[in-house]
Amino acid sequence: MLKRVEEEEDFFEILESLVIRLCAVWEAFIEGEMIDCLNIDCSKYKEELQLKLPEHPSKDLCEAILIGSRYLDFKNVDDIKGFAKRILPKEVNPFKLIKPATARRINELYVMRNFLSHYSRKSRRALQRMYQDVWHLKKFRQPGDFLSSYSGKRLFHYIDALLDAAKQMRKIIS
């Protein structure tokens, strides 16, 4: 049975956990899209790696050559776009369709995720810079407190950005 969240601190912690979860789901989505795109056309990546591959390798083979025994790790949307541009032909690269405004919102989410994952001084400074530059906040706020402002509308800005990016990318992969 679900309990009602009555403590503000618990609510903030739930929101912060959601940031980490959203980024994890986004990264799994990105990984799946890259695998699907390679499955459609791996010619550019095959050339870069100098591999002999079938025209349409299986998704398992695409995953093996793309990821191997590690995982894809991107710092922001530009990192994703750069990697995709390097391995995918233009015709099957949905990442290039992510609009700059959408990318900026997703990058902000990554900044929060990095702070919540590391609590380092560097990640705190990056988060504070983002608060100042984007939201014009002078005082540092914990991400849960920040996201709960304006009846949680800030959180939905980030969720909408992830959904918008997926919709923009769907113009190529469907």
Sequence spans of domains, the chain: 16-169
Cβ neighbors of 140 (< 8 A, separation 6 or more) are 124, 127, 128, 131
pTM of the predicted model over 0.85: yes
* Rounded Cα distance, 136 and 147, in Å: 15
Residue 54 binned pLDDT confidence (cut-offs 50, 70, 90): confident
Eight-state DSSP code of residue 13: H
pLDDT digits (tens, 9 = 90+) for 78-112: 999 999 999 999 999 999 999 999 999 999 999 99
Token pair recorded at residue 41? 């056309």
Query: How far apart, in Å, are the Cα atoms of 101 and each of 66, 77, 81, 89, 105?
Result: 28, 11, 14, 24, 7
